[in-house]
Structure 1
Amino acid sequence: MSAISITEIGIDELDPVMAIMAAAFDPGYGEAWTESQTLSMLVLPGVWLSLARIDGRPAGFALNRQIADEAELLLLAVAPDCRRQGVALALIDRTLALLRNRNGHRLHLEVRHNNPAIELYKRAGFTLIGRRPGYYHGIDGQIHDALTLSSVVQPA
């Protein structure tokens, strides 16, 4: 297995993030953010962006926002050719470790109810805490619920 490295990056390093986002998210659900949306989030306090690389090549990213002792995993994406190599779990672990170092106690996320990533989140220790009916609207007119998942940050 190839080595995964993860670093926090800034607004001047968005090109690989935007390329991964374009490749990873199904356009039918409209979940990918634009560069403008991503930039507007990155300038806010408590926001950080982690980029995972496999053998130096961008493989995935996680965008997070912390407010007080809770954080939200806003976006998590892995390049299609890098999936099933532990990138997503490594990014979640990194997010939880950074949150622990920042005195965070809980990490939340929302995911479309039929997204296969739900199983990954469960394996990572997330539990279902809520459901938002009709939250996602696909370009095909389909409406999908959002599931709210949460994970308690374990002490070191």
Structure 2
Amino acid sequence: MNDDIDTIMTLMEASFDPVWGEAWNRRQLSDSLSMPHTQYSLIDAGGNCPPVGDKAAGFALTKYVAGEEEVLLIAVDPAHRSKGIGSALLRQCFQSAITRGAERIFLEMRDNNTARSLYERLGFEAIGRRKDYYTSANGSRIDAITFAKTLL
């Protein structure tokens, strides 16, 4: 598991814009993974689960609670974006969530996140807004958008 945490940390550092401070630190990630019903998925450049020791192109961290799944973090290495990796990773999340009994899946993102079109293309719908939720390094603020998708 420590190797996978190293992989996730590397992907997070490469993928999240430091301006928004969205990347978690190692302790936050480890603590989250120690909680019940929290899991991660890794994906390689071919859209498959990478064999141990192979390079991952993306990851997702999800949590299941009472018939609902939440995507806590998701990232695709910038070198592998726009190649279907994010779609494949989310589809893996959908299948895993269904297996765990989830009827809906949620995620939250910055209003200016370019991944919005991906989420909408895969059936997520905006269901809420948190005004000025994110604060950038320079102090500017931006809303968070909550999305949901019915799985069953």
Common fold, TM-score beyond 0.5? Answer: yes
Q: 1:49 aligns with which of 40, 47, 66?
A: 40
SS at match of 1:84: coil
CA distance in 1, matches of 2:90, 2:4: 20
Q: 1:110 aligns with which of 108, 111, 124?
A: 108
CA distance in 1, matches of 2:45, 2:131: 37
User: What's the counterpart of residue 20 of structure 2?
Assistant: 29
Size of the aligned set, in residue pairs, is 145
1:89-100 pair list within 5 angstroms:
89-100=87-98
Identify the structure with the greater strand proportion: 1
CA distance in 2, matches of 1:142, 1:134: 9
Q: 2:63 aligns with which of 59, 62, 65?
A: 65
Please report how far the alpha carbon of residue 54 of structure 1 lies from its aligned counterpart in structure 2 after TM superposition: 2.0
Native 8 Å contact 1:47 1:64 kept in 2: yes
AA of the residue aligned to 1:144 = I
Native 8 Å contact 1:11 1:39 kept in 2: no
CA distance in 1, matches of 2:60, 2:80: 15
CA distance in 2, matches of 1:95, 1:60: 12
CA distance in 2, matches of 1:131, 1:61: 25
Identical-residue share of aligned pairs (%): 39
Please report how far the alpha carbon of residue 33 of structure 1 lies from its aligned counterpart in structure 2 after TM superposition: 0.5
- C-alpha distance after superposition, 1:70-125 (max 9, x if no partner): 01101010001011111111111001101111111000011000110111100111
Native 8 Å contact 1:107 1:151 kept in 2: yes
CA distance in 1, matches of 2:33, 2:2: 7
CA distance in 1, matches of 2:45, 2:18: 25
User: What's the counterpart of residue 146 of structure 2?
Assistant: 148
Which structure 1 residue ranges, 5 or more long, are not aligned?
1-9
Please report how far the alpha carbon of residue 57 of structure 1 lies from its aligned counterpart in structure 2 after TM superposition: 2.4
Which structure 2 residue ranges, 5 or more long, are not aligned?
47-53
AA of the residue aligned to 1:127 = E
Q: 1:129 aligns with which of 123, 127, 130?
A: 127
Q: TM-score, normalised by structure 1?
A: 0.90
CA distance in 2, matches of 1:101, 1:144: 35
CA distance in 1, matches of 2:19, 2:37: 30
RMSD over aligned Cα, in angstroms? 1.1
